[in-house]
């Protein structure tokens, strides 16, 4: 039985009917992770002992028939920027290499309360800054579909672990495509929920006004199940909505006939790989066959999304990363330090990689006297226009459909020498974060044997339509069931 | 508008973000920054007259609560991650100059 490839609900049935125990499943998953992960390096830390302890507890619940949730006993992986008490949380940075949090993120607590089993913490671009996982201070993660290619970023480890069957779902974090882009590159389903739907408490912040924690799974149904568990109001995060969490699986299976899809014309321009474009066109035809109405819409400020996104990211990151100063936690380089400033300068110089240095310096530049109006303030104004674009487009249709990336996964090392070239690979995913809207990435075919991702973008708080429409597609296609041979 | 960011500017912003950098690094970053900033200048094309800058994403409401003392992390636990601690405090070298 190929357990790693099963969906959460399939495993849930096996657990309920006692065909397998969570301990057996967890042991098999850990063994597979230890065996296969050296090829792809998706995990920074594998939490054997904790996993087995959580699995034993899950088996107790299953035996007693108490506190059983859809995630009870299910192995998962989590991006290493989400705090786990007693388990080191590195953000794939030298500055947090040995940092062991004293508290759990709200998401960590919710998953533990639901009985899920943490297999390990996954590799990422340092502090989420990157689109290929190559900015990890530790090692590169390889794409399970082609080990010479990147898995995408920044949640590259979480996507690769999911794709290679080293967990049954994973938790990523999306600041500007960091769940969707690697999900697309690795052939998994992933969602960036509406900003404020999932608590950021205990998430190590990159851009506080963009950051969204979101799951990666085998299919849209599982994605709805996991999001239902982690979403909700949190007294420790004042930006979370104080609204009940809907049952995200509720509309799954309902007909999508008569619902409308908008195709943003600005997303279908030169630069898109031919195989990506044909896959997306094929997906549109699939939806037409299901009776959905497809019409062209416009997001006129699309070309400004990338500069807006990066300017605001640099600015917020330069402020958020000020806390890594070598005095309270994390790396501290105090060689012959004559004052505290020396500790700051040395620690941050040693502890941060080049991309982090670039971004926090550019952030300080964009915020500094004389440039604030031209860069930071200008970007916040154009952000208002980006949000209006989405509001207007989504007032006429139920969802927007677009490719997740203009290309399939690129080669390791292909874009590392030119930061700007790397930024451009995010072109279709970044606009949603300044606007706050949710977006679901789904496997949509292959181009030159590498996975193609398609994203559905929805209205604020309308994840339900994304799951319904995403699931309808996955009933008609089996791209999401394709697995890499690894 | 072409705008170059010279090495002195790079060193200045490095100081602002408390980052030690060498001359060679400043040189390297200077070239990269100039091309990135030039790309950002595309925003100048956008007419933002009378456009209010975005300041929140979704929840524009104040959230208030009673200011009640609740149990939190113990001091000992908090200091577990501190590189240097003494007498229940985080310890650092001189903050204010002696001269």
Name the 3-class secondary structure at A245. Answer: coil
pLDDT number for residue B76? 93
Q: Do A239 and B36 touch (CB under 8 A)?
A: no
Q: Do A340 and B84 touch (CB under 8 A)?
A: no
Question: Which token pair is A436?
Answer: 């706050």
Q: Do A307 and B48 touch (CB under 8 A)?
A: no
Chain B: give the shortest CA distance to residue A130, in Å. 15
Question: Between the ranges A242-256, A420-434, B46-60, where is the mean pLDDT highest?
Answer: A242-256
Task: Assess B67–A contact: CB distance below 8 Å, yes or no.
Answer: no
Active site residues of A: 79, 154, 178
Chain A residues touching B94 at Cβ < 8 A: 338-340
**A454 touches A401 (CB < 8 A):** yes
pLDDT number for residue B60? 66
Q: Do B43 and A308 touch (CB under 8 A)?
A: yes
Confidence of residue A369 (pLDDT cuts 50, 70, 90): confident
pLDDT number for residue B98? 59
CB pairs under 8 A between A and B: 165
CB nearest to B93's CB, from A238, A339, A381: A339
Chain B residues touching A327 at Cβ < 8 A: 82-83, 90, 92
Q: Which residues contact A448 (CB under 8 A, 6 or more apart)?
A: A275, A408
Helices (H), A190-323: 220-230, 274-289, 305-320
Q: Do A384 and B10 touch (CB under 8 A)?
A: no
Q: Is the pLDDT of residue A77 over 70?
A: yes
**A458 touches A467 (CB < 8 A):** no
Q: Do B20 and A385 touch (CB under 8 A)?
A: no
Per-residue pLDDT reduced to its tens digit, B19-52: 999 999 999 999 999 889 999 999 999 999 999 9
Task: Assess B57–A contact: CB distance below 8 Å, yes or no.
Answer: yes
Q: Is the pLDDT of residue A288 over 50?
A: yes
Q: Which residue has the higher pLDDT, B5 or A23?
A: A23
Chain A: give the shortest CA distance to residue B47, in Å. 9
Q: Is the pLDDT of residue A270 over 80?
A: no
Among A381, A386, A390, A424, the strongest candidate for a mutation testing the B interface, having the largest count of B CBs within 10 A, is A381
DSSP code, position A66? -
Q: Which residues contact A457 (CB under 8 A, 6 or more apart)?
A: A390, A394, A399, A400, A401, A402, A432, A437, A438, A439
**In whole angstroms, what is the distance from residue A353 CA to residue A358 CA?**
9
DSSP code, position A375? I
Closest CA to A123 of A86, A84, A71, A161: A161
Q: Which residues contact A402 (CB under 8 A, 6 or more apart)?
A: A263, A264, A267, A280, A428, A454, A455, A457
Q: Is the pLDDT of residue A23 over 80?
A: yes
Name the 3-class secondary structure at B74. Answer: coil
Q: Do A239 and B18 touch (CB under 8 A)?
A: no
**In whole angstroms, what is the distance from residue A365 CA to residue B6 CA?**
12
Q: Do B19 and A349 touch (CB under 8 A)?
A: yes
pLDDT number for residue B93? 87
Chain B residues touching A318 at Cβ < 8 A: 17
Q: Do A328 and B81 touch (CB under 8 A)?
A: yes
3-state helix, strand, coil in chain A (%, to 5): 40, 15, 40
Give the burial class of A336: count Cβ atoms within 10 A of its Cβ; 0-12 exposed, 13-18 middle, 19 or more buried: exposed
- Would you kindly state where each structural domain of chain B is located, as residue ranges? 7-45
Interface of B with A in 17-46 (CB under 8 A): 17-21, 25, 29, 32-33, 35-37, 39-40, 42-44, 46
Question: Which token pair is A351?
Answer: 């502890």
pLDDT number for residue B97? 67
pLDDT number for residue B4? 78
Q: Do B46 and A385 touch (CB under 8 A)?
A: yes
DSSP code, position A234? B
Closest CA to A172 of A186, A188, A155, A189: A155
Q: Do B95 and A103 touch (CB under 8 A)?
A: no
Strand duo A450-457 + A399-403: pairing: antiparallel
pLDDT number for residue B58? 62
* Percentage of chain A exceeding pLDDT 70: 100
* Percentage of chain A exceeding pLDDT 90: 93
Residue A349: CB atoms within 10 A of its CB come to 17
Chain A: give the shortest CA distance to residue B25, in Å. 9
Per-residue pLDDT reduced to its tens digit, A119-175: 999 999 999 999 999 999 999 999 999 999 999 999 999 999 999 999 999 999 999
**In whole angstroms, what is the distance from residue A228 CA to residue A245 CA?**
7
Q: Is the pLDDT of residue B1 over 50?
A: no
Lowest mean pLDDT among A3-12, A363-372, A417-426: A417-426
What mean pLDDT is reported for chain A?
96
Chain B residues touching A349 at Cβ < 8 A: 19-21
Q: Which residues of A239-273 are buried (b: 16+ CB within 10 A; e: fewer)?
A: bbbeeebbebbebbeeebeebebbbbebbeeeebb
Confidence of residue A423 (pLDDT cuts 50, 70, 90): confident
Chain A: give the shortest CA distance to residue B93, in Å. 5
pLDDT number for residue A419? 79
Q: Is the pLDDT of residue B57 over 70?
A: no
Chain A residues touching B60 at Cβ < 8 A: none
Domains, chain A, with CATH or none? 1-486 (3.90.1300.10)
Confidence of residue A1 (pLDDT cuts 50, 70, 90): very low
Chain A residues touching B16 at Cβ < 8 A: 364, 368
Q: Which residues of A403-412 are buried (b: 16+ CB within 10 A; e: fewer)?
A: bbbbbbbbeb
Which helix (H) or strand (E) segment holds residue A468: the answer is helix A463-476
**Distance set, CA A486 to CA A102, A163, A170, A217, A461 (Å):** 36, 10, 19, 18, 37
Q: Does the domain made of B7-45 have the CATH classification 1.10.20? A: yes
Chain B: give the shortest CA distance to residue A100, in Å. 8
**In whole angstroms, what is the distance from residue A273 CA to residue A68 CA?**
45
Q: Which residues contact A176 (CB under 8 A, 6 or more apart)?
A: A207, A210, A309, A313, A426, A429, A430, A433
Per-residue pLDDT reduced to its tens digit, A212-230: 999 999 999 999 999 999 9
**In whole angstroms, what is the distance from residue A252 CA to residue A468 CA?**
4
Q: Which residues contact A112 (CB under 8 A, 6 or more apart)?
A: A54, A104, A118
pLDDT number for residue A2? 55
Helices (H), A174-273: 180-186, 220-230
Among A176, A235, A324, A328, the strongest candidate for a mutation testing the B interface, having the largest count of B CBs within 10 A, is A328
Residue A55: CB atoms within 10 A of its CB come to 26
Per-residue pLDDT reduced to its tens digit, A299-345: 999 999 999 999 999 999 999 999 999 999 999 999 888 899 999 99
**In whole angstroms, what is the distance from residue A164 CA to residue B71 CA?**
43
């Amino acid at each position: 039985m190929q357990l790693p490839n099963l969906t959460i609900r399939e495993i849930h049935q096996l657990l309920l009917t006692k065909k397998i125990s969570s301990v057996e499943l967890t042991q098999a998953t850990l063994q597979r992770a230890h065996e296969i992960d050296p090829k792809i390096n998706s995990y920074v830390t594998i939490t054997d002992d904790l996993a087995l302890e959580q699995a034993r507890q899950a088996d107790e619940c299953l035996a007693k028939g108490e506190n059983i949730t859809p995630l009870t006993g299910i192995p998962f992986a989590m991006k290493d920027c989400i705090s786990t008490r007693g388990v080191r949380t590195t953000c794939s940075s030298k500055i947090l290499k040995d940092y062991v949090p004293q508290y759990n993120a709200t998401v960590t607590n919710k998953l533990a309360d639901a009985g899920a089993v943490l297999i390990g913490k996954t590799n990422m671009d340092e502090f989420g800054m990157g689109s290929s996982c190559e900015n990890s201070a530790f090692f590169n993660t390889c794409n399970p579909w082609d080990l010479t290619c990147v898995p995408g970023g920044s949640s590259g480890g979480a996507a690769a672990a999911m794709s290679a069957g080293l967990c049954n779902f994973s938790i990523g974090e999306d600041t500007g495509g960091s769940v969707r882009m690697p999900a697309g590159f690795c052939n998994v389903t992933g969602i960036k929920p509406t900003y404020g739907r999932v608590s950021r408490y205990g998430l190590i912040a990159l851009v506080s006004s963009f950051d969204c924690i979101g799951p990666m799974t085998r299919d849209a149904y599982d994605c709805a199940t996991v999001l239902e568990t982690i979403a909700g109001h949190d007294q420790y995060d004042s930006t979370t909505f104080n609204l009940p969490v809907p049952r995200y699986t509720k509309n799954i299976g309902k007909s999508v006939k008569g619902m409308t899809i908008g195709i943003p014309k600005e997303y279908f321009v030169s630069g898109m790989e031919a195989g990506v474009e044909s896959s997306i066109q094929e997906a549109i035809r699939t939806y037409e066959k299901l009776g959905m109405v497809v019409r062209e819409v416009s997001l006129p400020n699309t070309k400004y999304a990338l500069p807006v996104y990066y300017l605001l990211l640099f600015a917020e990151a330069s402020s958020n990363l000020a806390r890594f100063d070598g005095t309270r936690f994390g790396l501290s380089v105090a060689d012959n330090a004559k004052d505290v400033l020396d500790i700051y300068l040395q620690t941050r110089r040693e502890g941060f990689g080049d991309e982090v240095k670039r971004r926090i310096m550019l952030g300080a530049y964009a915020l500094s006297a004389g440039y604030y109006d031209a860069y930071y303030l200008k970007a916040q104004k154009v952000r208002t226009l980006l949000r209006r674009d989405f509001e207007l487009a989504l007032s006429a249709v139920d969802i927007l459909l677009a490719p997740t990336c203009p290309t399939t996964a690129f080669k390791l090392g292909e874009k590392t020498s030119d930061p700007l070239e790397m930024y451009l690979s995010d072109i279709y995913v970044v606009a949603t974060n300044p606007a706050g809207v949710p977006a679901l990435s789904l496997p949509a075919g292959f181009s030159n044997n590498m996975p193609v991702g398609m994203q559905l973008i929805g209205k604020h708080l309308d994840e339900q339509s994304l799951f319904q429409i995403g699931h309808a597609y996955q009933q008609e296609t089996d791209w999401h069931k394709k697995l890499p041979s690894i | 508008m072409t705008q170059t960011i010279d090495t002195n500017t790079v060193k200045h912003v490095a100081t602002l973000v408390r980052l030690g950098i060498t001359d060679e690094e400043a040189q390297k970053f200077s070239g990269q920054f100039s091309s990135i900033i030039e790309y950002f200048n595309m925003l100048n094309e956008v007419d933002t007259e009378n456009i209010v800058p975005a300041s929140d994403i979704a929840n524009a409401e104040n959230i208030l609560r009673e200011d009640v003392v609740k149990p939190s992390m113990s001091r000992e636990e908090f200091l577990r991650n501190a590189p240097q601690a003494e007498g229940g405090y985080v310890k650092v070298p001189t903050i204010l100059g002696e001269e």
